[in-house]
Amino acid sequence: MSARRALKSLETLARARDMELTDLRRAAAAAADRVAAADHLIGRIQEAVVTEAEASGDDLDMLQAYGVFAAQCRGRLKELYAQREAFANEAEAAEIAVLDGYRALKQIEEAATARRTEIADEEARKERAVADDLAAIRAVRQAQSGF
């Protein structure tokens, strides 16, 4: 019975690891979404800078305002690039955690499969032993009745 308990423990552990893996996958997806959002914001700011440069034309007041606007956009872009880098590192770490979690789950599942095989082999061995014992008893009875 201890083999069955060990199998049950492995199955419980596998379910727990599967739930952890689901949480890790969610965290990795959230990190990837943050990278995509940062990329989207960077693109929109760059697009706005180009659009405003074209709209300023030859008007001196617009060119002066555009200079301030462009400087603020450069500052914001620097911040976003730094955040994007941090988000990318976080996403990479989350992906590594997902891979590690998946490997751990597979090891547990393989151990559970091996345990199931051991249990099935043990049961088959016991059934053969019982069948051999019954055949031996039958042979003894036949030998005794044959006298």
User: What are 91-100's pLDDT values in tens digits?
Assistant: 999 999 999 9
In this prediction, residue 67 carries a pLDDT of 82
* pLDDT for position 145: 82
Return the structure tokens found at 140.
């003894």
What per-residue confidence (pLDDT) applies to 25? 95
Residue 125 reports pLDDT greater than 70: yes
Q: Look at the chain and count its residues.
A: 147
| Window from 2-6, 8-12, 124-128, 131-135 with minimum mean pLDDT | 2-6
Q: What is the pLDDT of residues 60-113, one digit of tens each?
A: 777 777 888 888 999 999 999 999 999 999 999 999 999 999 999 999 999 999
The band of 144, judged by pLDDT with boundaries at 50, 70 and 90, is confident
Upper half-sphere CA count for residue 15 (Cβ side, 13 Å): 5
For position 78, what pLDDT does the model report?
95
- State how far the Cα of 139 lies from the Cα of 86, in Å rounded to an integer: 79
pLDDT at residue 142 greater than cutoff 90? no
Amino acid 147: pLDDT: 55
Q: What is the pLDDT of residues 11-67, one digit of tens each?
A: 888 999 999 999 999 999 999 999 999 999 999 999 988 888 787 777 777 777 788
